[in-house]
Each structure stands twice: as C-alpha cells, then as structure tokens.
Structure 1
Amino acid sequence: MNILVADDDPSMIALLTNALEAFGYDVTVANDGNEAFHLLRTGKYRLFISDWQMPGMTGLELCREIRRRGAGGYIYIILLTSFSGLDGVVQGLDAGADDFIAKPFNPSELLVRIRAGQRILNLESRELTIFALAKLAESRDQETGDHLERMREYVKILAEELSQYDDFWGIIDGDYINLLYLTSPLHDIGKVAIPDSILLKPGRLTAEEFEVMKTHTTLGARTLADVAECHPNASYLQMAMDIALTHHERWDGGGYPHGLKGTEIPLCGRITAIADVYDALTSNRVYKEAYSHEVAREIIERDRGTHFDPQLVDAFLHAEEKFLEIKNQMRSSLHLSIP
C-alpha cells in the first residue's frame, strides 16, 4: 500500500517516512496542503496521514474537501496533531477525519492505526468486488438476480440455525455468517463461461449438454482464483471459491466435480447446496411449474444423508418457516438455474 503523508515539518516527514517504510509501506510525501490535495486527486491514495496545521490547506480543510468531492473510492484520513482534548476530536471528526495520532507519535501506535484503516478499506474493496462479480453472473440471465437475493437469505437462515448446534460452536459465528451472506451470490459465477445455447436453452439439457453445464463449478473457482491473484489480501475469496467449486457435491460422494464425500465438502458448500436446491425446486422454469414448499421439504428430507449433510437438513426443517417467508416475499415468475 502507498500511503500519502502531508506535513510541512521536514523532521516530522522524516520520522513518519522512516517508520512507515520500516513497516513495509510505500510513502509519498506532500510538503503542504495544496500539494497533498493535488496528489489525492490522482486517485492513487486510499490512506492519507495529514498534519493538522499546514500552509496552503490545513488538515481540517483537506478533510472537508475530500469528503465534499466524494472520491471514487473511500480515502481513510488520519490527522496528526499536537492538539488535545475533546474539542479537537470533535472538530476533526466533523470535518471527516477517521482517526488521530498525537505528536510526538509512537511507531507501534502508528502501525496499529494504519492497520485499522486497512481493515476498513478492505471491507469496502471486498463488497465492491463481490458486487461486481455477482452482477457479471446476473448479466447472463435476467432471473439470476432474484435467485441470488433469495439464495443469500436462505444461507443466512441455515447458518444462523447451525450456529446454535454444539458441533458448529466455534466454527460459525457472526463473521462467518456475514461472509457467507456476502459470497454465496458467487456460487454460479462460472456460468458466465457457459455457451448461451446451453445456459439459456428453453428445456431440459441433453446428457452431453449437462456435462458442459457441470463445468461451471470448476470455471467459477478458476475465475475467482484469477481475481484472488489480483487481490492477494482478499482472503474472503477463498470461501467464494469453495462455494463455487463444491455446491453441487453430495454428502454420499455422488456429486460433482470431484465426488467429495461427507465433511470433505467445505461447510459453506454444504450450506449453499441446500439453499440452491430449495430455490430451484420452488421456482418456475420453462419446463416445469414451481413445487410447493411442502414438496420441496419432502425432497430435501428424503435426501438427508445422501445428497445433503444430515445436520443441515435438520437445521432446514427447524427453520423451514423462515424459508417459506423469504420464498413468499421474494417470489419471481421464472427461474432458469440448473440444480
């Protein structure tokens, strides 16, 4: 990460630059507020450390101008100040600052505050990346959007139910549920590489066509792996890859693409499998009417221990009223996803 530092004091610039470079960051220096503002307008800097008092533009004026302009990506601003007391904090926060470092600064405190800023920026990048990829999948099929909306609600319901089970204590927590909610819409991202003649075929696929359709799992995982190479700090993409690759695996080993069995299948893939099948069963297709919730429940219950993880089926049955509520709230007239 390249951090922009603005201060008119050469000794303070040297201290900040030495500390940040020792922590492994690249540093760009501005010697006054006007120079800092010019550099910020290039869009190259997401994290900005500014002195409070500078010629040209003060740190407060820079904060206000950055927030007023509404840059394309969020800029995390840390104000460096010798002021103390509540009034200074209030002024800085009101102007748009995110954090403060007091002069003289402690390098360890500086690192902690930089890392806090990175976490905030990574959250924004994560959601933007997921949204962009999900919209890519949606662009191939106008009904995919409704499917994705329902899917993430279903996986959230299942995960929240499982979090109460002893076997999942310490595995499923609030962070896991939120990550599953964010990444599950990418389960069918690989379908962007499936030919329209197969993906949008108005009827059942032939055996040969279905073999091509099945490759959307490996293609999706490969697509997300390519994205991960461009965003090496985006660890959340590992869950997205697991979901894309394994949501058609079966508990008894009869699924695809690798015939994984039981807990060899990542938990996120097992959760997504039930949500995906339930939505496919309860949605209209060009060659079938939607099944009722009751019929879908019977099919999922019948496949307990064969297609689906038994504990996940139990969780589904316990939370089925919530599934039915989402289905009724977010009903669509047509759904072309292949289970």
Structure 2
Amino acid sequence: MKTGPEVKTGRVMIVDDEPINIKLIQKFLKSSGYSEFITSTDSREALDLVHRQCPDIIILDVMMPHVSGLEILEQVRSDSSISHLPVLIVTASTEEQTKIEALELGATDFLHKPVKPTELLPRVRNALVVKEHHDQMVAYSKRLEAEVAQRTMDLVQSREEVIHVLACAAEYRDRETGNHVIRVGRFAGLIARQLGCAESDAKLIELAAILHDAGKIGIADSILLKPGKLSEEEFQMMKRHCEYGERILKAQPAERGRNLLRQHGITTRSPVLRIAAVIARTHHERWDGSGYPDGLAGDEIPLVGRITAVADVFDALSSKRCYKDAMPFEKCIEIMRAERGKHFDPKVLDAFLAAIDEITDIVVSLADK
C-alpha cells in the first residue's frame, strides 16, 4: 500500500556546522533510498556549492557561525536561478519568531531538532514532488517556447515567400526586369536604415517595396512590353498600375469579387501589405509635385513612397529594359544627383548616396542573368 506520492530520489544538500547532525540526516534519508548528498559544515561555501552542485533540495541548520541558515535562505530566494529550490530549515530553537521569520523568507518547511525520521522523510519527499512538478513545467514551457519560436519563424518565412511570389507574378509579365523587384526592396530597406528607421520598420519597408509594381498585372502586354516610347494614351494606361497595385494589396478587387471577400471577411490586416499598398500608389510621385497619380509634393508624399521612388528609379536606370540598355553606374548617379529636390526628396537621396558602397554590392550580387 502506497504511503505517499512517488518521486525519483534527488540530490540532497545538507548544511550544518555539526558533522553529527549531517550524518544523522544522511542515515535517515539513506534508509529511504536517497543516495546523492552534498554536505558542508562551513556555511560560507553554501551558495557556491548550490551553484556548482545543483541540488534538488537544501536542508539548512539555522544557528551556524559566519553565515546563518536564514541568511543563506534569503540569498537563495533572491537569486532567480535557484530561487525555486525547496529549502527545509532545521533548528534547535523553540522560539516561534524563528519559525515565522523562516517561513516569511520563503522556507519550504520547518523541522525541530532532534530531527525525527517520521517528520523528515515525508517533508523531503513532498518537497521533491513539488520540485519535480516545477521542473516538468519549466521543461514544458521551454519546449512550448521553442515550438512557438519555430512556428513564428515558419510564418515569417511563409509571409516572405508569398510576398516574393506575388511580386514575381507581376515581374513575370515583364521578362526583362529580372531581379528588379528584389533589388528595389533591398535598396529601400538600406535607405530606411540610413534614415534611422528601426530595424523592424526597415525590414517591413524592404518587404513591402518588393511589391511596388504589383499593379502591372493589370497592364496589357502591348503596353508593358512595348520596345519603343509609349503614346500619351498608352502612358495614361501605364500610370494606372499604381491604382491597380493599391487595390490588389488592399484586397479591393473589381466589384464582382468584392461580395465574395466581404462574405468571408477578408481584409488587408498585414502591416507589410498596408505599407505595400501605400508604396504601390505613391512610388511615382515626385518631390516637386509633377508625379502621378495624385500630384503630391514634398512631405505630402508618404516617406515609404519617397524611399521607393529613389530605389525604383536607380534600378530602372542601371538595368536593361525592353525599351533601353542599362546605363553606366556613374551616369546613373549623375542623373540621380541632378534630380535632387525635383524628383527626389533631398534627405532620402542623400541617405541613398551615403550608402553607395552597399548599393554597389546589391547591384553586383543581384545582377540580372
């Protein structure tokens, strides 16, 4: 017949300035199957032993020279790495105040000398049961944290993959753009960091800028792939890719699809897509107000649109297109500088130029094949 909960025997640490007391407690515990002991008659080394030997329970005498058991108990409870350890206080004192002080400091239980095995054994066993449950919860919590971290990582990776797929859907229509959208994203993230944006914000801008041309999905091939200059009518149609991109990224389809999205409660909640929608609409606006689709000027243009404008134009100049060859790097920079305060926000362009070495690395590493 079971007399109490079962638990694996643990490492028992006993600190008492009287060796005979240590031997007596060990004798009682050994008779019940305990075999691992850490002992000391010098209370000054108790804390160091706890950290080095990692006991499962501590049995402390109260009255000891140098450092009392209550002082050791207080130190244990104030150290987060060992504060969970059960501590049994043993004393010859019959003063009620000693017991109250020990319990207030966080003693797990309290024993009077001479220690009786009938009192010692169940207290040690029960304390170890609680300790084992605590250890199991800590282990479970760590496993859960690891699983959450892995799932979060998987979700982030999935989000980035979906963004790249959506960007490539537009890019696929224009076969000569190659790594254009990826480079624009990298440039935009780099500019954001140069401007002092937090890393998390810069990463969002980098991902969102990849989708700046998502609206090209709605542009006819005859316009998108035309090798020569667009007519005025064709250019007006091309401008609409800003509007199309915003609507796609805001989950605002043509009327025939809106009812279906409403029915299923689908809206754009993703921070990346919200930023991408702003970029899609505003990356062709100009600092001097001569851009499209809304003719915004200066700070009226959202910062993410101003950042992507610099990134997009530089890549368009430095890359081959169906209607032009790539320009030399130095010529691209010369043209960009000439548009400072006209096409481009001066501060944003300056941030871009300040990172020219990193820009060069991106151009080389993501060059079109």
TM-score class normalised by the smaller sequence: 0.5 to 0.7
1:210–1:203 Cα change, 3 Å:
same
The superposition leaves residues 85-137 of structure 1 with CA deviations (integer Å, 9 ceiling, x where unpaired) of 345544675699736xxxxxxxxxxxxxxxx9997787466435423422321
- What TM-score do you get using the length of structure 1 for normalisation? 0.60
Equivalent position of 1:207 in the other structure: 232
Among 156, 173, 192, the residue aligned to 1:159? 192
Distance 2:321 2:214 in 1: 20
1:288–1:234 Cα change, 3 Å:
closer
Q: Could you tell me how far 1:242 is from its partner in structure 2?
A: 0.6
Root-mean-square deviation over aligned CA pairs = 2.9
The superposition leaves residues 192-227 of structure 1 with CA deviations (integer Å, 9 ceiling, x where unpaired) of 000011111122212221111111001110111116
The superposition leaves residues 18-39 of structure 1 with CA deviations (integer Å, 9 ceiling, x where unpaired) of xxxxxxxxxxxxxxxxxxxxxx
Distance 1:314 1:179 in 2: 21
AA in 2 matched with 1:130: I
- What TM-score do you get using the length of structure 2 for normalisation? 0.56
Equivalent position of 2:11 in the other structure: none
The superposition leaves residues 38-73 of structure 1 with CA deviations (integer Å, 9 ceiling, x where unpaired) of xxxxxxxxxxxxxxxxxxxxxxxxxxxxxxxxxxxx
Distance 2:142 2:365 in 1: 40
Equivalent position of 2:322 in the other structure: 286
Equivalent position of 2:269 in the other structure: 233
SS in 2 for 1:84: helix
1:130 aligns with 2:155: no
1:224 aligns with 2:257: no
AA in 2 matched with 1:131: H
1:300–1:83 Cα change, 3 Å:
farther
SS in 2 for 1:290: coil
AA in 1 matched with 2:229: R
Equivalent position of 1:84 in the other structure: 133
AA in 2 matched with 1:288: K
The superposition leaves residues 167-212 of structure 1 with CA deviations (integer Å, 9 ceiling, x where unpaired) of xxxxx21111010111111100000000011111122212221111
Q: Could you tell me how far 1:268 is from its partner in structure 2?
A: 0.5
Unaligned residue ranges in structure 2 (runs of 5+):
1-130, 253-260
Residues 1-339 of structure 1: pairs in structure 2 closer than 5 A: 84-90=133-139, 98=147, 123=156, 126-163=159-196, 172-226=197-251, 230-332=266-368
Larger Rg: 2
Equivalent position of 2:100 in the other structure: none
Distance 1:220 1:329 in 2: 28
Distance 1:117 1:325 in 2: 31
The worse-fitting range, judged by mean Cα deviation, of 268-277 and 229-238 is 229-238
Aligned length: 228
The superposition leaves residues 210-267 of structure 1 with CA deviations (integer Å, 9 ceiling, x where unpaired) of 1111110011101111169724432332211110000000000000000000011110
Distance 2:222 2:230 in 1: 10
Q: Could you tell me how far 1:286 is from its partner in structure 2?
A: 3.4
1:231–1:122 Cα change, 3 Å:
farther
Distance 1:286 1:244 in 2: 22
1:128–1:323 Cα change, 3 Å:
closer
In the alignment, is the contact (CA less than 8 A) between 1:126 and 1:234 conserved in 2?
A: no
SS in 2 for 1:202: coil
1:96–1:251 Cα change, 3 Å:
closer
SS in 2 for 1:98: helix
In the alignment, is the contact (CA less than 8 A) between 1:137 and 1:144 conserved in 2?
A: no
Equivalent position of 1:108 in the other structure: none
1:267–1:83 Cα change, 3 Å:
farther
Distance 1:287 1:190 in 2: 20
Distance 2:158 2:321 in 1: 35
Distance 2:204 2:232 in 1: 35
AA in 1 matched with 2:322: V
Task: Name the % identity.
Answer: 43
In the alignment, is the contact (CA less than 8 A) between 1:304 and 1:310 conserved in 2?
A: yes
1:233–1:223 Cα change, 3 Å:
closer
The worse-fitting range, judged by mean Cα deviation, of 228-237 and 205-214 is 228-237
In the alignment, is the contact (CA less than 8 A) between 2:205 and 2:272 conserved in 1?
A: no
The worse-fitting range, judged by mean Cα deviation, of 174-183 and 124-133 is 124-133
In the alignment, is the contact (CA less than 8 A) between 1:221 and 1:241 conserved in 2?
A: yes
In the alignment, is the contact (CA less than 8 A) between 1:282 and 1:293 conserved in 2?
A: yes
